[in-house]
Amino acid sequence: MALIVQKFGGTSVGSTDKIKTVAQRVLKNHRQGNRMVVVLSAMSGETDRLTGLALAMQHIPDQREMDMLLATGEQVTVSLFAMAVKEMGGDAVSLLGDQVAIHTDNMHTKARIYSIDPDLINKHLEQGKIVVIAGFQGVTDSGDITTLGRGGSDTTAVALAAAMRADACEIFTDVEGVYTTDPNVCPQARKIDYISYDEMLELASLGAKVLDIRSVGLAKRFSVPVHVRSTFSENIGTWVVEEDKIMESMLVSGITYSKNEARITIKQVPDQPGIAAKVFLPISDAGILVDMIIQNTTDGRLTDMTFTVLRRDYDRAMELLKKVAADIGAQAVSGDESIAKVSIVGVGMRNHPGIASTMFQILAKEGVNMMMVSTSEIKVSCIIAEKYTELAVRALHDAFALDKDNLPVEEAE
Amino acid sequence: MALIVQKFGGTSVGSTDKIKTVAQRVLKNHRQGNRMVVVLSAMSGETDRLTGLALAMQHIPDQREMDMLLATGEQVTVSLFAMAVKEMGGDAVSLLGDQVAIHTDNMHTKARIYSIDPDLINKHLEQGKIVVIAGFQGVTDSGDITTLGRGGSDTTAVALAAAMRADACEIFTDVEGVYTTDPNVCPQARKIDYISYDEMLELASLGAKVLDIRSVGLAKRFSVPVHVRSTFSENIGTWVVEEDKIMESMLVSGITYSKNEARITIKQVPDQPGIAAKVFLPISDAGILVDMIIQNTTDGRLTDMTFTVLRRDYDRAMELLKKVAADIGAQAVSGDESIAKVSIVGVGMRNHPGIASTMFQILAKEGVNMMMVSTSEIKVSCIIAEKYTELAVRALHDAFALDKDNLPVEEAE
């Protein structure tokens, strides 16, 4: 008798009819002999509605009160879901974050879970009930309601699966699973059957939206097998598991792209110790995240510094940098919002250092110029002009044969 | 520095603008040096919206899940209210029934409070905060959310005032206070300045809607001074207090009427021991409340039994009674839905047994026939034909001079 945690997002429970459909599916799994724990998000649109009310009250809503307000969204869904199960002749009980209890720190609107007590859930499971838990929410030691921020319900589901040593954590979404790349850009994109935590972490951080990166990190830490699959079909989706559970790893598992970044260059900066700090301190003080940084020394005394920030921070960053440039005697600050980051990810490239240069060759052949490059053990990211994004993704998908198994070929030594 | 509990109902907090208006008022009271505890209902319409969702899920919604669902209504209001206070430069914190903690039994949808822990509220008050508490809800010993049923927020407010030994419990409503009778029926109706708990209990049970009867009972038990007043003006409303706090009690304080009842008569019942039980047992087994009962023995062997039920139960009661009548050999069952109950209430009548007959005379003078009468120490109720309701109310209001002080005149002995 397997213990399965299933999480359904806002779109999957966006109406009373959709809640019934999901309830039917969960009940079917339950009647097949599984013990079922269900994690639900707020009905789609509800969080926006509540946020609108909050903004009508307070310019910048108080974060504790915001959590108090937003937590009602999931509370509505779980109670309706339990009713639906009961109407279908099953038994279910809804539980809130503080009832479970999902203990978090007190960082309101982006709290982190530090413990979950599985006793109450187990008690209800032993009575044959489907346990329906409000995602996205927890409680501090002093009894205040917290929310977990973006992707919070995924995190709730994985944390519960970890705490309860569940056999699987199934994340239901509106796609069939994790794809080798965005099927909208590349029709040859293929659903991935198995992917390692590390690859999924890279894909999530590089722009794949199917699974929140925090929940992947948590799944990795507690070895929770995660199954990403569709709410709207019975098909097997993508299993995110430990690397050694995957028989053979692909050379390249997935290709992602992101158009959320912008590039800034400070030209002719005096190449002295402490200059980099002078450039980046005001940026980080303003809460602006810097992703890639490169520095080219043009001659012995002067250097160009280039880095990327999120596009939404671009204007603020440019403004700050212009002041800094004047202070440190740099020649000029230039920027470019029309860039994209294209990345290839795969654990198979660990032992194949040639992958990066293969990527460069493929892009060169298409006439795509690379502005910046960054690499990790299992990924290579290139900054290119935004207009080449789709071309680059398709060319890489094709050249690395992601539409087929692209197992690493042992190279001649 | 007074401690004041203020309760605002759904209409008073029915929109974000209305919540702001109420927040401003509470903040003003706070800045005048009072410690403020605010109890709020759900925004008007919200409970109906949630009930609609529940009925879409389950034919007869599970009561535990219904409470889980409905409790979100007040949770939304209290968090928005706290935000509004903060936006205005004040400090506030919202608390739910389980956070307070308002402990109840586990009778879902109509739970009863058995204890309230004032510690957390006091802690926040000492920090100078306005404490905003979700009305209508509590928590069982096992941590389940409960709701208190009809008028629940009034009950929450009075219970809090009792637990915290508040100087006053102010119930804000859409009228100026408790009136001598319904001003829509009798333009001479006058706002009552002071009324005793017992009178208020009678008025509430006889149809006055301004204050829920449970909260009045609670206020009486713990001697909580209750101030019923208008959300929309600064005027003094009606104080509901202990009888001995009122310098001089009126002979008749108020006149109420109710059109929610229906009358049923079983004719020619054998007048034997055990017959009454045979008649009323099926009625009470069906959960139908019986209000007045009269029995007239027509001769030694046969009797007519007449009683009243709520009009919504009339059809079911008639059906049950027809079966009973056949069983016990009664001649016939007849009924009348076109009746009304008109009542006069006043502690002053305790020592003036002539009040009932004065009432009968007044009604007789207007040509109004009385079908049934019931009396208590401080009230007299008459069942009359529904069409005479307004006429009777106005005649009684006039004859007992409720538009003026009608202090009891000591009668010559």
Report whether the peptide linkage leading into residue A101 is cis, meaning its omega lies within 30 degrees of zero: yes
Q: How many CB pairs under 8 A join A and B?
A: 103
For testing the chain A interface, which of B69, B93, B131, B139 should be mutated: the one with the most A CBs within 10 Å?
B69
DSSP structural state of residue B125: H
Asked if B59's CB is within 8 angstroms of A87's CB, the reply is yes
Distance from CA of B77 to the nearest CA of A (A): 8
Distance CA A85, CA A87 (A): 5
| Strands (DSSP E) found in A178-260 | 194-196, 226-230, 238-241, 254-258
User: Which residues does residue B382 pair with via DSSP β-bridges, in sequence order?
Assistant: B342, B373
CA dist., res. A370 & res. A355, Å (int): 15
pTM recorded for the entire structure = 0.86
Place of tokens 């990790």: A376
Contacts of B82 in chain A (CB under 8 A): 62, 65, 68
> For chain A, what percentages of helix, strand and coil (3-state, to nearest 5) are there?
40, 25, 35
β-bridge partners, B345? B254, B379
Pick from A108, A168, A98, A163: nearest CA to A133: A98
Q: How far is B315 from chain A (nearest CA, A)?
A: 29
Which residues from A are below 8 Å from B79, CB to CB? 54, 65-66, 68-69
Burial (CB count within 10 angstroms: exposed 0-12, middle 13-18, buried 19+), residue B405: exposed
Residue in this structure with the two tokens 């529904």, named with its chain if needed: B386
Give the span between the Cα atoms of B238 and B179, in whole angstroms: 8
**Structure confidence at residue B409 (pLDDT):** 55
Length of chain A: 413
Q: Are B73 and B43 in contact (CB under 8 A)?
A: yes
Tens of pLDDT, residue by residue over B350-369, are 877 788 889 999 999 999 99
Nearest by CB: A68 against B54, B56, B79: B79
Question: Is the CB of residue B171 less than 8 Å away from at least one CB of chain A?
Answer: no
List, in order, residues 6 or more apart from A292 with CB less than 8 Å away: A307, A308, A372, A374, A381, A383
Please write the tens of the pLDDT for every residue from B194-241: 999 999 999 887 766 788 889 999 999 999 999 999 998 999 999 999
Q: Do A72 and B76 touch (CB under 8 A)?
A: yes
Using the beta-carbon criterion (under 8 Å), do A76 and B19 form an inter-chain contact? no
Residue of A172, A184, A250, A168 lying closest to A211 (CA atoms):
A172
Mapped onto helix, strand or coil, the DSSP state of residue A229 is: strand
Question: Does residue B392 contact residue B384 with C-beta atoms inside 8 Å?
Answer: yes
* Tokens at B146, concatenated: 């409960």
Residues B65-101: b if buried by 16+ CB within 10 A, e if exposed: bbbbbbbbbbbbbbbbbbbbbbbbebebbbbbbbbbb
CA distance B136 to B97: 8
B151 CB burial (10 A radius; 0-12, 13-18, 19+)? buried
From chain B, pick out residues whose CB is under 8 angstroms from the CB of A50.
76
pLDDT tens for chain A, residues 1 to 413: 899 999 999 999 999 999 999 999 999 999 999 999 999 999 999 999 999 999 999 999 999 999 999 999 999 999 999 999 999 999 999 999 999 999 999 999 999 999 999 999 999 999 999 999 999 999 999 999 999 988 899 999 999 999 999 999 999 998 899 999 999 999 999 999 999 999 999 988 776 678 888 999 999 999 999 999 999 899 999 999 998 887 777 788 999 999 989 999 998 888 777 788 888 888 888 888 888 888 777 666 788 889 999 999 999 999 999 998 888 888 889 999 999 999 999 988 887 778 888 999 999 999 999 888 888 889 999 999 999 999 999 999 999 989 887 666 544 43
In B341-400, the residues whose Cβ lies within 8 Å of chain A are: none
Comparing C-alpha atoms, which of B217, B240, B232 is closest to residue B170? B240
Using a CB-CB cut-off of 8 Å, the residues of chain A touching B120 are 143
Assess A99–B contact: CB distance below 8 Å, yes or no: yes
Can you list the positions of beta strands (E) in A148-186? 168-173
- Of all residues in chain B, the one with the smallest CA distance to A93 is B65
First-to-last CA distance in chain A?
A: 50
State the first-to-last Cα distance of chain B, in angstroms, to the nearest integer. 50
* Distance of alpha carbon B40 from alpha carbon B77, whole angstroms: 7
Asked if B208 and B258 count as a contact pair (C-beta separation under 8 A), the reply is no
- Nearest CA-CA partner of B265 in B329, B334, B198, B204: B334
